[in-house]
Amino acid sequence: MPTNTDASLARRKVRARAARLSAVLLGGLFVGFLILVGVFIEYRRAIDWVDHTHKVISTVEDLQSNLSDAESSQRGYLLSRDRSHLMSYRAGVERSRALLDRLDSLTIDNPVQQDKVKTLRALTADRLGRMAEVLRQSEDAGMQRALDMVREGVGANMMAEIRRLTAAMRADEDLLLARRSRHAMILELLMVAYGLLFVTVTGWLGYTTVRRLERDYQAERAEGRALTVALQENRVLLDEVNHRVKNSLQIVANLLRTQALRHRSQEVRQELLDSSSRVLAIAEVHRRLYGEGAVYDTVELSDLIRSIAENAIPSDSDGGGEPAMSVAVGTPLPTPVDTAVPVALIVNELLTNSYKHAFPNGRTGTVRLDMEVEGNEVRIDVADDGIGLPEEVGSSGGGFGLNTVRNLTRQIRGRLEIERLTPGTRFLLTFPMKPGAPTQA
Q: Does domain 297-313+322-432 have CATH number 3.30.565.10?
A: yes
Q: What is the pLDDT of residue 8?
A: 67
For residue 270, the tally of other CB atoms under 10 A from its CB is 14
Q: What angle do CA 202, 208, 210 make, to 5 degrees?
A: 100
Q: What is the pLDDT of residue 223?
A: 81
Q: What is the pLDDT of residue 342?
A: 92
Q: What is the pLDDT of residue 294?
A: 58
Q: Up-side HSE of residue 79: CA atoms within 13 Å toward CB?
A: 7
Sign of CA dihedral 244, 250, 254, 256: positive
Q: What is the pLDDT of residue 346?
A: 92
Nearest by Cα to 66 from 166, 153, 184: 166
Q: What is the pLDDT of residue 429?
A: 92
Q: What is the pLDDT of residue 329?
A: 82
pLDDT digits (tens, 9 = 90+) for 125-137: 888 888 887 777 7
Q: What is the pLDDT of residue 408?
A: 92
Q: What is the mean pLDDT of each run of 10 residues along the chain (441 residues)?
A: 62 73 77 81 86 88 86 80 82 88 87 86 84 78 74 78 85 86 87 83 82 81 82 72 73 76 77 79 77 68 87 62 75 86 91 83 84 89 86 67 88 90 89 60 33
Q: What is the pLDDT of residue 217?
A: 79
- DSSP per-residue string spanning 259-284: HHHH-S-HHHHHHHHHHHHHHHHHHH
Q: What is the pLDDT of residue 293?
A: 55
Amino acid at 357: H
**Bond preceding residue 423 cis, omega within 30 of 0:** yes
- DSSP per-residue string spanning 89-114: HHHHHHHHHHHHHHHHHHTTT-HHHH
Q: What is the pLDDT of residue 356?
A: 81
Q: What is the pLDDT of residue 393?
A: 67
